[in-house]
Structure 1
Amino acid sequence: MHSDPHHPHDHDHDHPSPSDGAPRWKHDGVQVIAGDRLDPNTAQTPGMFRQAAINHARVGAQKIWAGTVAIEPDAKTGVHHHGALESVIFVVRGRARMRWGERLEFVAEAGPGDFIYVPPYVPHQEINASPDQPLECVLVRSDNEAVVVNITDIEPVERPETVLWIDPIHRP
């Protein structure tokens, strides 16, 4: 109970009650989104299946987006960034490879239980590092807006071990 006599606090006064008399936060408070009730009506990339769990349309979220992505073996995104948004990727199953930088010159991998942080404006590419297993992740972004800025003037380069060298005479 609030004990400041200058600011008495009635727990219902800031929360108008719906017609059943219950405090508004009873109906507009915590929400559980069942894993089998995710919304596929979100941006899709070939070889990937994204589903929204938390966004403005579903739960009224103002400053966050969360969902899942399933990435087919060997699939990858084009090079892109998410503007001012911050992103977190949690790897549930499989092996993720992230390339980033102005020429995708940096690479890191993550496995089940690992978190990946992608800062604002960082050009990056998400890759399923497995040739035969799907990659399943949870995504969280710092805003509801689906900001994706595709970068077409970077030629994505695969990891060096996949192409040891290129014979200049016998180029593919």
Structure 2
Amino acid sequence: MTDHWHQPLRHIKGGELTEDTMQTSGMRRLEAVSGKTVGSEKVWMGETHVGPATNSGDHHHGEAETAIYIKSGHPVFVFADGDKEIRLETGPGDYIFVPPYVPHREENPGEEDAVVIIARSSQEGIVVNLPSLWAEVSQED
């Protein structure tokens, strides 16, 4: 029987992040905390890099809520609101919340890498790549 009061803390050094997670075109996801890496049961955490003048593909994160902290660069988060495309321009120190199943993409119009820290309400890095922001999203993806 596992003693939940005496579990060791896990230290994941910056150089130990792995790319062994779901990827989306135009970005590089690195996994730090997950069911695979540390045995987490309710959270996934990592970082994403989007190079200069690059856009990610459109995607969503299934049933997971996603919280994003902008570490560096000025990424733009794009999502559809009805028939309108909404663009959220961000900078270092800003946060973004992405509700479950919301199609979106990250764009980096700047001249430096955009790096963001991501936390999700799932121990797995759920990523569903889509053909567009207006693609039908099934709640069962």
Under TM normalisation by the shorter chain, which class is it?
0.7 to 0.9
> Partners in 2 of 1:125 and 1:103 — Cα distance?
16
1:113 and 1:62, CA in 2 relative to 1: closer, same or farther beyond 3 A?
same
| Aligned residue number for residue 72 of structure 1 | 51
| Aligned residue number for residue 120 of structure 1 | 100
Q: Deviations over 1:82-101 (max 9, x none)?
A: 12111111111100101112
TM score, norm. by length of structure 1: 0.69
Larger Rg: 1
Q: 1:34-73, aligned counterparts within 5 Å?
A: 34-73=13-52
RMSD of aligned residue pairs (Cα, Å): 2.3
> Partners in 1 of 2:114 and 2:18 — Cα distance?
19
Point out which structure has higher relative CO (alpha carbons under 8 A, 6+ apart).
2
Conserved 8 A contact 1:65-1:142: yes
Q: Gaps (5+ residues) in structure 2?
A: 135-141
Runs of 4+ in 1 over 3 A off after TM superposition: none
How many percent identity over aligned positions? 35
> Partners in 2 of 1:108 and 1:153 — Cα distance?
18
| Aligned residue number for residue 72 of structure 2 | 93
Per residue, is there more strand in 1 or in 2? 2
Q: Deviations over 1:93-146 (max 9, x none)?
A: 10010111254521111100111110111121111131x211011111110233
TM score, norm. by length of structure 2: 0.82
